[in-house]
Chain A
């Protein structure tokens, strides 16, 4: 690999940073407008979402053309200060960091987001919260772009949470359905678990280096000297913090594990991957954008951004967890019947590949897989959306009510939906990793890296390290099997729902709306390998791989991972058999997987009979229920938690509430007594005085009765009294 000349870093405020801000703000603007105006807009505002994301896409293309392999833009603005002026003032900056990886991600996110929104125009047209759907997608796109553009971990964490929140909104978009509500809560909570680790990791780094800024942190990790159990970092002179910084390895490992926790939650790695299959309760285009192509890849993006902070122990942990995730996801995908769940488990499996790639030091291969996976998995999900849409329509027309996402109710769609079928094939081939398709390049790169890593690690005589690449290869076989099974169920044989083929189509002449097919076709074309590499048979010639490799970044060759990426890359170059061997091996295994699926399902496919509907066999059942991880969490965490909260509630009820209630009752009785005294004694006295005054008033009124003659009598009586007084006294 030829290392390009050093790329200059631009730090002055310039047009590119401004355009990047505009790019990020456009989807937010769409979100705000759609949220405020909503249904008042023309066509309920779908054009607004698509337009803003489309503009963002063109801006991203412009930035890509300006930044890729040309420069690094880093512009930072002061954000806030902590501490009074008398003490040491700690200032925090917020900024934009554009390098090869960032601009590449910008293009992918905006492109897929725009396509998904175009797709949603038809897919969601009957929904009563149509404008809010586009608004949420705008919020998601904004947050995702924020993650990509952020130059510091604090800002990144904020956008990270926003992404989680918009994912929550979109999973629970159909909140009338109980499943969707539960799934959204589950996804949110599982992400929180990972995010706590992420936050602790950020704190750890801040505690050591007093900064959140990624470029500064990266600078620390380039000037260091390694010792047996601690690492000495050279403080840049301009910071004037004094002596060099010595940090023990295990603390850095803890911090790195914390950052990795964020990835475990967001990228659905073992043991937190259980939220992703449930997240399929959201609308299918959302699954394509968020839970397949972009958001779940954010964890891998984070790992790439923080790659130099990870100690070898953290990387080893990544390799192990990534491998476990890959195998578990692939096994679970083999037993599922829900069209979206198969794809979800396959996403988990592919994310496991990416994390494994990071762990073995093949970070560039991992990112390449992120890019290729984003396109072909989005394509698969959107195709699944078309199929669900068609199935829904057919069920509506025929009056049958079965699970419209169950692949056992499909079949024969090859003839009914030919365009979808031919769009599905390249994406499937890319996922399986067949040559000529994009997935082949990236998977090959990861597996080569894993093999070279095992080679390197086992040089001391421990051959257990080969387990990781071997399990990776096993997953290739499984991927071939489950994707072939998936396709056989959906597209081959005869349709098991209804013989009426036109029930599935928009019209006898047209299988689906053009707005549904256009994104799918575009994404299917992008599943071919030659977009990513000039030579579609060999990944090292991939322009993306060369662009995003850390080896191309000057001064980044050191790091605390014992130069793992360099050694891996060196080893692959030195012994050419590795990449050749993995290429042949993985293709062979993938074909074997497809063949196995063919052997298992050819009988009923040819006879047009229904496949057995019952899940038999202990292992199949285990895989179908995702190794009972949910049950495990239910039993181990939720049940004890509920038990403890039940007991605490009982204590509350029987002790605290009881004493409070008794106190309350006593007070009431006392109050009643005092009230009686009040009424009888105090009020009685007042009432008596009032009654007396009333009596006197009544007596007085008797004399003032308006009878003129009674007045005569009174004055006469007065006269008589006067006379008597005069006479007797």
Chain B
């Protein structure tokens, strides 16, 4: 079994993080922004899983990943609830439009 070097995984995680960040910064739709945040989480999780290989007995990296997934799920639930409320109030989830209507 060919050992995948850690560098590759870290580069992949960095790419994933940058894609997520790009989505967060550039997208106008709130849910897409949330999706970007998920990508950032996943990039972090990928790193944690990769680092697990240095101490496979303790399984610390993988357990941590599970924690992050649970917290991310909870956070997403809260964020979606907020988006729902925002939509009810502003009739839109476009971030720029929300900003304009708060300034009026």
Contacts and interface: CB of A to CB of B under 8 A. Distances in A.
Interface of A: 706-709, 712-713, 716
B99 interface: yes
A714 to B, nearest CB: 11
Main secondary structure of the interface of B (DSSP, over half): helix
A709 B102 contact: no
B95 to A, nearest CB: 6
A708 B82 CA distance: 14
B3 interface: no
A707 B96 contact: yes
A712 B25 CA distance: 7
A23 B52 CA distance: 129
B21 interface: yes
Give the 8 A-B CB pairs with smallest separation, nearest first: A706-B99, A709-B25, A712-B25, A712-B24, A707-B99, A713-B25, A708-B95, A706-B102
A149 to B, nearest CB: 89
Contacts of B102: 706
B73 to A, nearest CB: 22
Nearest to A707: B99
B57 interface: no
Contacts of B24: 709, 712
B2 to A, nearest CB: 32
Given A706-B102, A706-B103, A707-B95, 4 more contacts: A707-B96, A708-B99, A709-B24, A709-B33
Contacts of B21: 712, 716
Interface of chain A, helix or strand or loop or mixed?
helix
A722 to B, nearest CB: 16
Interface of B: 21, 24-26, 33, 95-96, 99, 102-103
Nearest to B95: A708
Nearest to A706: B99
A675 to B, nearest CB: 42
Nearest to B26: A709
Contacts of A706: 99, 102-103
Nearest to B24: A712
Contacts of A708: 33, 95, 99
A712 B34 CA distance: 13
B23 to A, nearest CB: 10
Contacts of A709: 24-26, 33, 95
Contacts of B103: 706
A716 B25 CA distance: 10
Contacts of A716: 21, 25
A708 B103 CA distance: 14
Contacts of B25: 709, 712-713, 716
A709 B22 CA distance: 10
Of A706, A713, A716, the most chain B CB neighbours within 10 A belong to A706
A712 B103 CA distance: 20
17 contacts: A706-B99, A706-B102, A706-B103, A707-B96, A707-B99, A708-B33, A708-B95, A708-B99, A709-B24, A709-B25, A709-B26, A709-B33, A709-B95, A712-B21, A712-B24, A712-B25, A716-B21
Contacts of A713: 25
A707 B24 CA distance: 12
Contacts of A712: 21, 24-25
Nearest to A713: B25
A709 B23 CA distance: 10
Nearest to B100: A706
B78 to A, nearest CB: 16
Q: Which of A707, A709, A712 has the most CB of B within 10 A?
A: A709
A707 B33 CA distance: 13
A719 to B, nearest CB: 10
A199 B24 CA distance: 107
B44 to A, nearest CB: 14
A262 B99 CA distance: 97
B79 to A, nearest CB: 12
A153 B103 CA distance: 90
A455 B87 CA distance: 133
A712 B37 CA distance: 11
Nearest to A716: B21
Contacts of B26: 709
Nearest to B37: A712
A710 to B, nearest CB: 8
A707 B26 CA distance: 11
Nearest to A705: B99
A192 B99 CA distance: 89
Contacts of B96: 707
A532 B95 CA distance: 120
Contacts of B95: 707-709
A401 B21 CA distance: 109
A707 B100 CA distance: 10
A706 B97 CA distance: 11
A711 to B, nearest CB: 10
A99 B24 CA distance: 121
Nearest to A708: B95
A81 to B, nearest CB: 84
A228 to B, nearest CB: 115
A715 to B, nearest CB: 11
A596 B24 CA distance: 133
B61 to A, nearest CB: 22
A706 B102 CA distance: 9
A378 B104 CA distance: 91
B89 to A, nearest CB: 16
A708 B26 CA distance: 11
B9 to A, nearest CB: 20
A436 B26 CA distance: 133
B29 to A, nearest CB: 12
A712 B102 CA distance: 19
A709 B24 CA distance: 7
A108 to B, nearest CB: 94
Nearest to B30: A708
Contacts of A707: 95-96, 99
A716 B26 CA distance: 14
B91 to A, nearest CB: 18
A716 B17 CA distance: 12
A706 B100 CA distance: 9
A431 B25 CA distance: 123
A727 to B, nearest CB: 15
A237 B94 CA distance: 120
A713 B95 CA distance: 15
Contacts of B33: 708-709
A199 to B, nearest CB: 85
B86 to A, nearest CB: 11
A713 B26 CA distance: 10
A172 to B, nearest CB: 73
B35 to A, nearest CB: 14
Nearest to A710: B25
A712 B33 CA distance: 11
A706 B98 CA distance: 10
A706 B5 CA distance: 43
B83 to A, nearest CB: 12
